[in-house]
Amino acid sequence: MVRFFKTDWLNRAVLALLVVFGVLFLLPFAWMASTSLKPLSETMTLPPRWVPSTVQWRNYPDAIHAMGDFWRYAGNSLYLCLMTVVGTVMSSALAAYGFSRIEWRGRDRVFMVLLATMMIPFPVVMVPIYGLFKSLGWIGTLKPLWVPSFFAGAFNVFLLRQFFLTLPGDMTEAERIDGCTDLHIFWKIIL
């Protein structure tokens, strides 16, 4: 057992408290799973029953069928998640690498401007962004949900830049001596 405190009883008390809180955090999930398997008549009974009288696995296929286009919705969600993750990681990592490892004139000023964009409240830019999407003909499509992720966000660039700054500079210098380009060094660092 890992010791945090000098006394054994205090370690046990902290462990017991953590277990209690862990169980409390799992209770809503257990209630959701239990309710999903109940007959409809038992979902709102008072007092609530944790264990259904009859387990109805049929509730899941019925819910999928009642939604109509469930598989289309699931496919859209998967597509959006995939495109957003790929766009955010690619664009933010490239920008952060440029701000941390490549020396260029005005780099720190441009980075400060990038950080300053985090202070602009979203309602200020919401209408211009809508106008941009409307002029591009993207209203009613999925593009406004994933295309902006391919333009690095300031917070993600900041976090990744801080990570790149922790890497030893000798690694980059050794790669440059070997004749690698900045893009090749970037790929070696992230892989």
Each domain of the chain, given as residue ranges in start order, spans 8-67, 70-190
In the structure, what pLDDT confidence band is assigned to residue 188 with cuts at 50, 70 and 90?
confident
Distances (CA, A) of 74 to 50, 65, 82, 144: 29, 13, 12, 18
Structurally, at CATH architecture level, domain 70-190 sits in: Orthogonal Bundle (1.10)
- For the cut 60, the answer to whether the pLDDT of residue 186 exceeds it is yes
46-84: pLDDT as tens digits: 888 889 888 999 999 999 999 989 999 999 999 999 999
8 A C-beta contact, residue 117 and residue 154:
yes
CA nearest 70: which of 60, 81, 55? 60
Stretch (H or E) spanning 172: helix 169-177
pTM of the model: 0.73
pLDDT of residue 4: 63
What is 51-100 written as a DSSP string?
Answer: S-SS--TTHHHHHHHHHSSHHHHHHHHHHHHHHHHHHHHHHHHHHHHHHH
Instruction: Please give the average per-residue pLDDT across 98-112, as a whole number.
Output: 93
Radius of gyration of the chain (CA): 26
Residue bearing tokens 């980059």: 172
Percent residues over pLDDT 90 in the chain: 66
- For the cut 90, the answer to whether the pLDDT of residue 108 exceeds it is yes
